[in-house]
Chains A and B, each alone.
Chain A
Amino acid sequence: MSPSLALWLSIVLGSCAQIFLKKGVDQKGADSKTGYARLLRSGWVWLWAFSFFFATALWLVALSKIELSYAFPLLSSGYVIVAVLSMVFLKERVSWMRWMAILVITLGVATTWGSK
């Protein structure tokens, strides 16, 4: 697998993981009031755990070839991806103010790690 493919798969999978986790904790019978033990019964939570694991593994594969100062700015695109996925799959409303905030944060992370 090429390093940049591993990097992008890691970013997309890591973003999906957050959506899976939210699906899992929002499920009836697996909410915050019923405890961590019950979360283990949610397929979404397992999907989150596996996605998180593979995203981390892919990230390490990518980092063996790609410089951190290049990889981290790309990782920050995860904020945008999570926001888009949350609108589509969780019906979250993302206001223009929140989009502004997300873009500023993405820019900030890219600036922080794009520079050595």
Chain B
Amino acid sequence: MESETLLHKPVPIDRQVSGLSTIALPWQLAALGAILLASTGHLVIKLGLVSAGHASLPASGLARMVETLFQPAVIGGLAIYGIGTLLWISAVARRNISFLYPLTALNYVIVSVGGKLWFGENISPARWAGIGIVVLGVALLQLSSGEDQ
């Protein structure tokens, strides 16, 4: 019985060897996850800086900077950003870089909209236009995605 169960659920070889395998997601999920986590990381860092009243870093030296870097929200934001980087590596292993890299422009769209929703930041008409152009570009990029491999 036990051996049968083992046979049905083999441990992947890469897990046995390295103990730390890459995140095996389809590239779409990996890339979008990476972009989303990078944006979330930025917004969380900003949240930490704003709540601590460090929104504009004064040029008062290293101590202030170290103090700022060790805020829980800043560390949390960096951790989220780090997980995003692992997902990015997973995506880069699967697709051409000339296709994947321009996708990261969605970062600006997410940060702009997130800044509006979370921090009440204003989005000017010109900036909305820019966001629309980026989304159009990503749609065009998607049309070119079948050409690889």
Chain A residues with CB under 8 Å of chain B are 18-19, 21-22, 25-26, 31-39, 64, 72, 76, 78-79, 82-83, 86-87, 90, 92-95, 97-98, 100-116
Summed over the interface, the residue pairs from A and B with CB atoms below 8 Å come to a total of: 147
Is B39 interfacial (CB 8 A cutoff)?
no
- Given A18-B101, A87-B98, A100-B140, check contact A108 B20 (CB 8 Å): no
Closest B residue, CB atoms, query A94: B98
Select B102's contact among A64, A79, A112, A116, beta carbons within 8 Å.
A79
Contact: A104 with B133, CB < 8 Å? Answer: yes
Known: A35-B14, A36-B20, A97-B147. A82 touches B129 (CB 8 A): no
Shortest Cβ distance from A83 into B: residue:
B98
* Neighbouring B residues of A113 by C-beta, 8 Å: 108, 127, 130
The answer to whether A105 touches B147 (Cβ under 8 A) is no
Query: Is B112 located at the chain interface by the 8 A CB criterion?
Result: yes
Q: How far is the CB of A86 from chain B (nearest CB, A)?
A: 4
Contact A37 B20 (CB under 8 A): yes
B147 adjacent to A102 (CB under 8 Å): no
In angstroms, how far is the closest chain B Cβ from the Cβ of A94? 5
Listed A/B pairs (27) with beta-carbon separation below 8 Å: A18-B92, A21-B92, A22-B92, A25-B92, A34-B14, A34-B17, A34-B18, A34-B21, A39-B89, A76-B105, A79-B101, A82-B97, A82-B98, A82-B101, A82-B102, A86-B98, A92-B96, A97-B143, A98-B99, A105-B141, A108-B130, A108-B133, A109-B134, A111-B127, A111-B129, A112-B127, A115-B130
Residues of B within 8 A of A90 (CB): 96-97
Are A36 and B86 touching (Cβ within 8 A)? yes
Q: Mark B1-42, 1 if CB is under 8 A from A, else 0.
A: 000000000000011011111101000000000000000000
Q: Which residues of B contact A97 (CB under 8 A)?
A: 140, 143-144, 147
Interface residues in B92-144 by Cβ distance below 8 A to A read: 92-94, 96-99, 101-102, 105, 108-109, 112, 124, 126-127, 129-138, 140-141, 143-144
Query: Contacts A35-B18, A97-B140 known; A25 to B127 CB distance under 8 Å?
Result: no
